[in-house]
Amino acid sequence: MESLHVIPVADETSGDFLPLSDVPVYSVVLVESSRARQAFTNAENDLKKLQTEKKDTEESITKIFNVQGFGAEGEWKKLDGTCLEYDTGEYIYEACLFNEARQKPKNGGSTFSLG
């Protein structure tokens, strides 16, 4: 159990510090409630971070095993990010699996996205 931290309390009329036995209970309660409130806020923030991480992971897993995406057993996932190129002389066509296809001119100019 943590020890209580008591903030010295001065007498309102004399300005002298009160003996510990005369310190109002609410002073001790305020310090402890502040500490509890901060611990609660920290725990809430940690929980939100973990919930976001869990949601992102679940979405990734769902995407991997989507029949329309990487196959029912994720068998196509290893090809994600693989790009194939075909040189026609004037252009290089690049198709990136599960992403987009591009047309790149060999003699300068801009790359054109094919979708």
Assess contact for 70 and 80: CB atoms under 8 A.
yes
- pLDDT tens string 14-73: 666 655 565 555 556 667 788 888 999 999 999 999 999 999 999 888 877 776 677 777
Output the pLDDT for position 1: 47
Closest by CA position to 102, among listed 89, 115, 90: 115
Output the pLDDT for position 70: 75
24/12 Cα distance (integer angstroms): 12
Q: State the amino acid at position 33 in one-letter form.
A: S
Output the pLDDT for position 41: 93
Give me the mean pLDDT over the 86-108 stretch.
Answer: 89
Residue 75: enclosing H or E segment and its boundaries?
A: none
- In this predicted structure, the answer to whether residue 89 has a pLDDT above a threshold of 80 is yes
